[in-house]
Amino acid sequence: MRIFVLFVATLVSASVLGQGFDDAVLQTPVPQGDGLDGFSDFDFMLNTLFNLTLAAVLGALIGFHPKSVQTADTLKEIEAPKVDIMYATIGALIGIMVVKYGLVIGFVLFGIGGLIRFRTVMRSANLTGQVILVTLVGLSCGLDLPHVAVMATVFGWVLMYILEWRITYRIDIRSLPEETMAESADAYRQVLEEHGCKILGEQKRPGSGRIRFIFRPGAKESREHIGNLLESQVDPSLQGLVDWEID
């Protein structure tokens, strides 16, 4: 009998809470776009810039935590701070729009973000973040909020420029004899370091005859140039087949 009473009470409570939640959403006024007049709201734009910058900085503090950097040994883990910063910025933009223009916008944004995140197959989480960001920019345009769209675009462009200032490469050198693997690793590492590349990770797999390097090149070094250097300066007897991955 007690179980039945508890079951009925749970159903009633859920119904009441659900109805209250629906009423709150329905009673939320539909936001009216500011149009071009939004560009004259300097206080809002300055506050938006501050909040986006603060979110990016705080995301960077978490993303570049010393312990996380020390234990990162894969390309995805090394590039994870970029994802943290991008998603912190996206969260701040969503919060700004919800506070300014109402709860309905929040449901729309989270629905679109969830659909993109889980239904769109992208090469990396960083690219997914970029897609969500440009979706928010487009939504701002559709809601007649051009000042929000412009602010988000400019901030996102600058942020991406900073984050992608130095490209991270991963090379897999395979088909190496086990007896010369240590010498091959030293030879490849020496060429990379001599030309200004910063080694971020190194893995040796003697059983499969593979060596993996994760590195950032010098400011003026291109992938083609690095590949030519490795091919010409590493002893042919120590060379293997090189596969590249870029992030």
List, in order of start, the domains of the chain with CATH numbers.
33-163 (no CATH), 169-246 (3.30.70.1110)
Report the pLDDT value the prediction gives residue 50, as an integer from 0 to 100: 94
Report the pLDDT value the prediction gives residue 3, as an integer from 0 to 100: 46
pTM recorded for the entire structure: 0.67
CA distances from 238 to 88, 130, 151, 209 (A): 45, 40, 52, 12
Nearest CA to 87 out of 125, 135, 116 is that of: 125
Report the pLDDT value the prediction gives residue 153, as an integer from 0 to 100: 94
Q: Which H or E run contains 75?
A: helix 75-101
Report the pLDDT value the prediction gives residue 132, as an integer from 0 to 100: 82
Distance CA 217, CA 173 (A): 17
Report the pLDDT value the prediction gives residue 14, as an integer from 0 to 100: 43
Distance CA 128, CA 134 (A): 10
Distance CA 12, CA 6 (A): 10
Q: Is 228 helix (H, G, I), strand (E, B) or coil?
A: helix
Report the pLDDT value the prediction gives residue 223, as an integer from 0 to 100: 80
pLDDT (tens place) for every residue of the chain, 247 residues total: 544 434 444 444 445 444 444 454 445 555 566 677 778 888 988 999 999 999 999 999 998 887 766 556 677 777 788 888 998 998 898 888 888 777 767 666 666 666 665 655 556 677 778 888 888 888 888 888 888 899 999 999 999 888 877 778 888 888 888 788 888 888 888 988 888 888 888 888 877 788 888 888 876 777 888 888 888 888 888 888 888 876 5
Distance CA 156, CA 160 (A): 6
Report the pLDDT value the prediction gives residue 29, as an integer from 0 to 100: 52
CA atoms in the 13 A half-sphere facing the CB of 215: 26
